[in-house]
Structure 1
Amino acid sequence: MEDKIFVVGHKNPDTDSICAAISYAYLKNQIEKTDRYQARRAGQINEETEFVLKYFGKEAPLYMPNVGTQVKDLTIDDVEGAPDDVTIRLAWDYMSESGISALPIMKEDGTLEGMITDTDITRYFMDAYSKTIMSEARTKYLDIAETINGEVVVGDPEAHFEEGRVIVGAASPEHFQHYIKPKDLVILADRADTQLTAIEEGATAIVICLTGEVKKIVRMAAQAAGTVVITTKFDTYTVARLINQAIPVKHLMQKEGVVSFKEDDFLDDIRETMSKLRRPSYPVMNNRGQYVGMIGSQNLLSAKKKHVILVDHTELSQAVDNLEQAEIVEIVDHHRVGTVETINPVYFRG
């Protein structure tokens, strides 16, 4: 896609300034067989100009008071957002594979719900002492099974673990009644006696390690008691280490104080924010509030200057704001050579 070139007149535009922008943009598009030249205006049109445009059936150019570099002029990283029910395990894997340190969490309508960073996840695992965190997060049994490479063999995989603790059933069956409570999720070895005892003590779910099979008597007992049964080939240590990674990211994500930028924000403004916060990356939203990608301080180096053709003036004081940030490619004026300075040679016609 070709970069647009904006044809714009002076501030407080009169009729010849507006008409010059419209006609010269049209001429350039016809000559080059393109539509990259876009007429713009640097102020409100007056009644005379409005009459002329209406008489000839022309729309007024779009208002463009500032040609400074904006977020939309940067290379915006295409980082796919994740839904809030994705697991910590999957979020971490995606961030690691993509080489990113922050992941936007999206609502179904494409708007931003929150952010999760690699720091949030590592802090969670370093501080994860609570045995009830998985039930507090309403973790889905299917997500638990997938996180430990297992399978839900009894019960509804889409149901949630909503109450109780996660414990390892390492003791002998006769001691289970002393520490298994109703609604607990119990991680067990492949022993039918311990599995049956956990079910009898009211466990809401059991994870059976080192197997893919469940004995018939255990399956029948679980079905009768409404106990969810998950099997895995992992051992109890591995399961205990991995199982907390099944919680959804919405339980850890940042919801308050998430800083995002809009595509129309100017770089002068976002630089100040970035220098204060010093975060690795920030989400970018379009005018409809929908997420479009991520930027960080390194993206500022990719900024593209807007290309501008000035018509009917050459005075910097009359030009659109932040003209010094744009690249002037042509000047068409019938007055005189003014105060505008450029780095590169430009085509000038007076």
Structure 2
Amino acid sequence: MNQTFVIGHKNPDVDSICSAIGYAALKRETGLKNFVAARCGNSNARIDRVLEKFGARLPQMVGDVRLRAKHAMRRNFISMPADASCFAVMDAIDRHDLRSIPLVDGSQKLIGEVTVFDLGEFFIPRPKDARQTRRVRATLSDVVKTLGAHAHCLFRAEETEDMFVRIGAMEVATFGSFIEREGLRPEQNLIVVGDRFDIQIKAVQMGVRGIIITGNYAVDPYVLEMAAQRGVSVISCRHDSATTALLVRMATRAQPLARPNPAVVPRDMLLSKIRERSRDYYGKTIFVCDSRGKIEGLFTNADLLDIRRPKLALVDHNELSQAVAGADEAEIVEIVDHHRIGDARTSNPILFINKPVGSTCTIVSQMFAAAGKRPDKKIAGLLLSGIICDTLNLKSPTATADDSAEIKRLSPIAGIDPDELAEYVFSSDSIVATSSPDGAIGADCKFYEEGGVKFSVSQIEELDFAAFLSNLEPLRGALEACRAKNNLFFSALFVTNVMTQDSLLLVAGDDGFASRISYSRDAERNFFELPKIVSRKKQLVPYLTALLKDAPR
């Protein structure tokens, strides 16, 4: 999450890919090593051809930056084994300032969660059920461990059982009858007693489960001998009787107190989905587990307030509809673009460079010059390719003097003539001929919204219209599928002949809208002819949005 992804738009074109690579290189040249080129869509034949020409690698795929549970979870956390005592759990909660602790088995699989509230409910006396305030479910070994005690003799030390703690502070004459009145068998009782020899003897004679001698008092050999004969365990500890009685209850195994159905989510669950269920998760620790139930991490609502968001530097776009999924949740730190200003919002001021030029690569090249840096041969070739592709080698109406100047600056560094590079790039295999209909529609598809109306425009640049005409109906079907899938008012396919500088337009969607397009229509094949219209950004999209604004509602 420390990286900043320099990333272009969905369905990337040459300018998008090359400007991302070039801008990341510029950042590294100026000492910002954490800027990494990325893409959020698949490559195409033209992009591959350019990258191969200059020995560049396709940027890494980052198709989704939406925040997920794995981004919020703390990987370093405290857990306790299933057989942990309440004392061990409370000690961990106190030392680490926690409000709950997960209990796990030997493979770290989540068994349950013990909270401070569960422990408090167990240890706070209930007037209506006083006997339960003295109940301890544990082994005698647990009791010895919790007290830090010395075991003089133990019987069935590892047997988990219900025992009841009693302080032997009464007269010996009433000691036995008091136990009998509670309806407990003697062997269910743990007697906490100080240096009361008479109580010690009476307890052993009755056959209690064990006696705990407090205050580090010495144990009479006669008591030990009788206890051994009758199978009564004898333990001694340093604490006073009141403290000992409390600590013995803490030897209780924590698992019976655990909540069996804690809040569990998979690592890839979207935080937006978790926030939608905030009532279900409010005040809880949320455990992130794998498919086998093994804990990978945990987080609370407080952690969501301090989550580190992914950082993005957007190039060749600024509208969120064209950005990588989750861009609205990310921290956008920079934007370098040459399109209309859309809806990108940031929480802090950022570097936002937007120029009316024909290519984002033109702006990146200018930024190299402004920084006093010279791109190497590979980067110069990529930037040059981006300018040539986006401006149709300066023949597009979007081309400017700035684009021309940067072509002149870059071509000597790249060691290639611009016209020669243009011929190489545009002579690549037809995208229509080498792609599926869906692939051709999606290769360079941009989504727009105007006045609440959503639409898309895909652009394909070809050497002629032969492949388009021979695949017209499959392309029409794929265009309609794109429109329906994304719930759009209409989808358009804009096919440009880079040799003649003419285009054809195929529209799927509202017939009433299509009937308002004023360009010549081939009635038989149902597409529009757009002579000398080659720019989606500067010519077609403004025309379409104007039609939408004037359309009756």
Choose 279-288 or 50-59, whichever is displaced more.
Answer: 50-59
Tell me the percent identity.
26
Q: Give 2:250's aligned residue.
A: 245
Q: Secondary structure at the match of 1:323?
A: coil
Match of 2:314 among 304, 310, 314: 310
Correspondences of 1:1-350 after superposition (within 5 Å):
3-14=2-13, 17-18=16-17, 20-22=19-21, 24-29=23-28, 31-32=30-31, 34=33, 36-46=34-44, 58=57, 61-65=60-64, 67-71=65-69, 76=74, 79-126=77-124, 127=126, 129-130=131-132, 133-135=135-137, 139-148=138-147, 150-155=149-154, 159-163=157-161, 165-168=163-166, 169=168, 170=170, 172=172, 176=176, 179=180, 181=185, 183-189=187-193, 190-256=195-261, 258-261=262-265, 264-284=268-288, 289-296=294-301, 298-333=302-337, 335-343=338-346, 344-348=349-353, 350=363
Q: Secondary structure at the match of 2:339?
A: coil
Runs of 4+ aligned structure 1 residues displaced above 6 Å come to 50-55
Choose 46-55 or 175-184, whichever is displaced more.
Answer: 46-55
Counterparts in 2 of 1:45 and 1:104: CA distance versus 1, 3 Å: farther
Q: Distance in 2 between matches of 1:265 and 1:52?
A: 38
Q: CA deviation at 1:151?
A: 2.6
Q: Distance in 1 between matches of 2:232 and 2:21?
A: 73
Counterparts in 2 of 1:272 and 1:152: CA distance versus 1, 3 Å: farther
Q: Higher Cα Rg: structure 1 or 2? A: 2
Aligned-CA RMSD value: 3.9
1:289-336: per-residue Cα shift (whole Å, max 9, x none)?
53434322x333323432201233333321123323333233344x53
Q: Secondary structure at the match of 1:32?
A: coil
Q: CA deviation at 1:226?
A: 4.3
Q: CA deviation at 1:42?
A: 1.9
Query: Would the aligned equivalents of 2:263 and 2:281 in 1 still touch at CA under 8 Å?
Result: no
Q: Report the residue type matching 2:92 in the other structure.
A: Y
Query: Would the aligned equivalents of 2:147 and 2:247 in 1 still touch at CA under 8 Å?
Result: yes
Q: Distance in 2 between matches of 1:285 and 1:27?
A: 41
The structure carrying a bigger helix percent of its residues is: 2
Counterparts in 2 of 1:144 and 1:59: CA distance versus 1, 3 Å: farther
Q: Distance in 1 between matches of 2:306 and 2:24?
A: 27
Q: Larger relative contact order (C-alpha < 8 A, sep ≥ 6)?
A: 1
Q: Report the residue type matching 1:8 in the other structure.
A: I
Q: Distance in 1 between matches of 2:190 and 2:320?
A: 74
1:238-275: per-residue Cα shift (whole Å, max 9, x none)?
4334321111211211122x113455443322222223
Q: Distance in 1 between matches of 2:139 and 2:58?
A: 56
1:148-207: per-residue Cα shift (whole Å, max 9, x none)?
453323237x93343453242556379749747364342143344543443444433222
Counterparts in 2 of 1:185 and 1:287: CA distance versus 1, 3 Å: same
Q: Distance in 2 between matches of 1:267 and 1:12?
A: 26
Query: Would the aligned equivalents of 1:141 and 1:152 in 2 still touch at CA under 8 Å?
Result: no
1:89-128: per-residue Cα shift (whole Å, max 9, x none)?
3322432444432223334444433211111111112357
Q: Distance in 2 between matches of 1:86 and 1:186?
A: 21
Counterparts in 2 of 1:85 and 1:210: CA distance versus 1, 3 Å: same
Q: Distance in 2 between matches of 1:323 and 1:205?
A: 66
Q: Secondary structure at the match of 2:12?
A: coil
Choose 241-250 or 222-231, whichever is displaced more.
Answer: 222-231
Counterparts in 2 of 1:59 and 1:217: CA distance versus 1, 3 Å: farther
Q: Report the residue type matching 1:310 in the other structure.
A: L
Q: Distance in 2 between matches of 1:78 and 1:130?
A: 36
Query: Would the aligned equivalents of 1:327 and 1:342 in 2 still touch at CA under 8 Å?
Result: no
Size of the aligned set, in residue pairs, is 340
Q: CA deviation at 1:81?
A: 2.5
Listed as ranges, the gaps of 5+ residues in structure 1 are none
Q: Report the residue type matching 1:324 in the other structure.
A: D
Counterparts in 2 of 1:60 and 1:222: CA distance versus 1, 3 Å: farther
TM-score (norm 2): 0.52
Q: Distance in 1 between matches of 2:317 and 2:83?
A: 57
Q: Report the residue type matching 1:336 in the other structure.
A: H
TM-score (norm 1): 0.77
Counterparts in 2 of 1:303 and 1:251: CA distance versus 1, 3 Å: same
Q: Secondary structure at the match of 1:260?
A: strand
Counterparts in 2 of 1:39 and 1:219: CA distance versus 1, 3 Å: farther
